[in-house]
Chain A
Amino acid sequence: MDQYTLNLLVVGATFALYIGIAIWARAGSTAEFYAAGQGVPPVMNGMATAADWMSAASFISMAGIIALAPAGGYTQSSFLMGWTGGYVLLALLLAPYLRKFGKFTVPEFVGDRFYSNGARVVAVICLIVISVTYVIGQMRGVGVTFARFLEVSTDTGLYIGAAIVFAYAVFGGMKGITYTQVAQYCVLIVAYTIPAIFISLQITGNFLPQLGLLGGYAPTGGDVAFLAKLDQVVTELGFTQYTSHTTSTLNMVFFTMSLMIGTAGLPHVIIRFFTVPKVSDARWSAGWALVFIALLYTVAPAVGSMARLNISTTFWPNAVEGNALDGEALSLEQINTNPELAWINTWKNTGLLNFEDKNGDGFIQYYNENNAGMQAIAAERGWTGNELTKIDNDMMVLANPEIAKLPGWVIALVAAGGLAAALSTAAGLLLAISSAISHDLIKGSINPNISEKGELLAARISMGFAILLATWLGLNPPGFAAQVVALAFGLAAATIFPVLMMGIFSKRVNKEGAIAGMLVGLIATAIYIFLFLGWFFIPGTAMLANTPDNWLFGISPASFGTVGAMLNFGTAYIVSGLTKAPPREVQDLVESIRVPKGAGAATGH
């Protein structure tokens, strides 16, 4: 059976599974549609949260983002600490209390706690901006993964993906999404781990990639540490040392903090904790979510760095035993004739990898052409530039099964895993958007007397529209899709996280304080990002060059969420101090959410 048929079979089987689950888990009430009827066991919710959280970017790109970073792999540790540390904040500061509050959406808490429809609407706006920007990337991810493995156009892939999400999200709501996400987690983690184990065995002799990262370099007997070998090879080729700290410490701290509080403030993650039966389950569930996330996040840096060393030594065969530059580079003849190296041409055809024999010597020299020392060596040896002209971040995960000579079904599984990661995150985001529209806007503001049946229908229609909008944005992505992710995290950090935390931990912060705080956080963060990346991301409207010299205290736009959060907290406390304390019943509400007793089922009103 050829690879294409195999991919089609495995991906088709997983899709049949998702649709089967959707038929089984059809939502019959708004409680089931918004919060899966609060009946999801904590371990399962942990799995669903992990699938919800880990997007196509985590699955396909993260290993490469870390391993191929020009500033070195260590500096990218911010992603690892930031995207996991946020769960500590969720478990300790938000999830148990929001579960006790027992409503369906994040804006609903903001509206009730700050006794103001205005506050609720500001929260809805923040939620929609955050979730819509996020969902664009997911829909692209679905299209791209389809295109890569099933030989359809990106647009066709997007339509198929949207149809699948439609099938289980519109009918199943949170209930359908939750159980599908559990299945999707299983698919994606198996797909990620199998090739990782093989590359770890190959490069370090360790079965566990996590230990492999700290292990010895197997091809020379394991006496040299793997990381030391990697540092030696990349520096010899003129790249930044892998383990060294080369960026501003302050910016790294602020960036890590932005990712942590941004993670804790993402609405589609928070609403997952509304689905468990009890307050104590919300605490355990955050722990299980992190277990399942850590399974991938501790493997990613190992896989990425091993793949990078593997590619470096492939192009410099002498680097395995000694110094790369003491021997010849990989020859074109080898690439075209050696069956072991067939993957190089395969991946060149997909555009993720590219090479060009610039000086026509029949060898492909891979080095950092911007490094002064390497330029001298190149001039001496007659090289005319780096000839491995492209290694895409996504290569580090997608090409691994082929490089490690794994059977075809593993490659098919990686395709299904990438799709599972993208679909599960898209579905979670779409639910957050549709519940904000049907529950917070329609039921909360426009028509409070809507019946249960009417609201359920409104929820399904909003979901349908959200999918159409996401599909349209996926087909016509704004050119700034990459920058927008900074905005999503920055806004979640500067608006949602502080307002929720103050709502729980302070009885004194009132509606004036909360609204002023959210607006200051929102506007300050948005303006700082727009100053460097263009007003509303329109090219050419940036007022300052996006370089560390221009940044305020060296804080990059992506790290500014931390500052936005500080401004939000500060403003809220000052304004609250100057205006009158919240009414008695609101203070009682705060008292009641702090104590687990009497949580019961969530209510829609």
Chain B
Amino acid sequence: MAEEPQNNNAYWAANVRIILISLTIWASVSFGFGIILRPALMGISVGGADLGFWFAQQGSILTFLGLIFFYAWRMNKLDAEHGVEE
């Protein structure tokens, strides 16, 4: 079992990388497109309002959903790759 700690470290590093990528997307759609970058996206119209408004009221929620399911699916794969699944 000597390699177990090493395997666990690699597993954790991979997990943290996936988390960081996911959180970058999480912040971009809400704080980015929905609030801070909204003025820059004013030109793109979505059904009577602009893209930033859509992200603030619907787009970010839909992206959050996608992110959680992506993370659950990706982590199940990662668990299996590293043999740490239950």
Contact = CB atoms under 8 A, between A and B. Distances in A.
Contacts of A74: 53, 56-57
A297 B61 contact: yes
A88 B22 contact: yes
A214 B31 contact: no
A87 B64 contact: yes
B8 to A, nearest CB: 5
Contacts of A85: 26, 30, 60, 64
B2 interface: no
Nearest to A597: B84
A287 B72 contact: yes
Which residue, of B35, B36, B71, has the highest number of chain A Cβ atoms within 10 A?
B35
B13 to A, nearest CB: 11
Contact of B38 (A93, A245, A597): A245
Contact of A215 (B26, B47, B54): B47
Contacts of A291: 65
Contacts of A91: 68, 71-72
Given A80-B56, A249-B36, A298-B58, A227 B68 contact: no
Interface in A345-381: none
Given A92-B22, A597-B84, A213 B58 contact: yes
What secondary structure prevails in chain B residues at the interface with A?
helix
A88 B60 CA distance: 11
A213 B47 contact: yes
Interface in A75-127: 77, 80-81, 84-85, 87-88, 91-93, 96
Interface string A568-580: 0000000000000
A219 to B, nearest CB: 15
B85 interface: yes
A226 B46 CA distance: 11
A279 interface: yes
Tell which of B16, B58, B79 has the most Cβ of chain A within 10 Å.
B58
Contacts of A591: 5, 8
Contacts of B60: 80-81, 84-85
Contact of B68 (A77, A88, A228, A301): A88
Interface residues of A, number: 50
Contacts of B84: 595-597
A226 B64 contact: no
Interface in A431-474: none
Interface string B39-63: 1000000111110011011101110
Interface string B7-42: 010011001100100110010001100111011000
A227 B47 contact: yes
A363 B44 CA distance: 41
A280 B75 contact: yes
Nearest to B7: A595
B59 to A, nearest CB: 10
A24 to B, nearest CB: 29
Given A227-B48, A596-B86, 6 more contacts: A74-B53, A77-B57, A88-B68, A214-B48, A225-B49, A243-B49
